[in-house]
Structure 1
């Protein structure tokens, strides 16, 4: 399966995966509005040898087949102050 990857023009480190280049037919209009104008990044061939950062290619294929898109959000930022306080025994 071939999929296209787009980055958000509005949200840093936010990516949208769709089954084909320019195929946003399954993406809710509200999501596209919040995402902003999609900026094409690349196309990927999803096969068992493909390594993705946050899931397997098979998981991505299943998600695209079921929902028609996948939204990848950035991981939550670590609260460094909270981590430091915890290391010092503070709460």
Structure 2
């Protein structure tokens, strides 16, 4: 499955994965307004072997198949601190 990744220019460290390039119509209007302008970052093949830095690829694939998009929000600071202690 191909995914097209965009970065929100309004919300730091927030990324949108789309099932179809530039298909912003699949995003609910309130979310689209919150994210503001989106800049294309990369195209990626989401194979079962693919690892992503901050998202579970199986969840991303499921959201793309069901909704046409997946939003990756920045990690919460307390989760980053907890991960650092492992």
User: What's the TM-score once normalised by structure 1's chain length?
Assistant: 0.77
- Alignment correspondent of 1:5: 5
Task: Name the structure, 1 or 2, with higher relative contact order (CA <8 Å, separation 6+).
Answer: 2
CA–CA separation in structure 1 for the residues paired with 2:63 and 2:54: 13
Gaps in structure 1 of 5+ consecutive residues? 79-91
**Greater share of residues in strand:** 2
CA–CA separation in structure 1 for the residues paired with 2:14 and 2:57: 18
**Greater share of residues in helix:** 2
**Mapping 1:8-47, distance limit 5 Å:** 8-47=8-47
- Cα shift at 1:65: 0.8
- Cα shift at 1:11: 0.6
Give the match's secondary structure for 2:74. coil
- Alignment correspondent of 1:75: 75
Gaps in structure 2 of 5+ consecutive residues? 79-86
- Alignment correspondent of 2:84: none
- Cα shift at 1:20: 1.6
- Alignment correspondent of 1:86: none
Aligned residues between the structures: 78
CA–CA separation in structure 1 for the residues paired with 2:34 and 2:59: 25
Runs of 4+ more than 4 Å apart: none
Q: CA RMSD in A?
A: 1.3
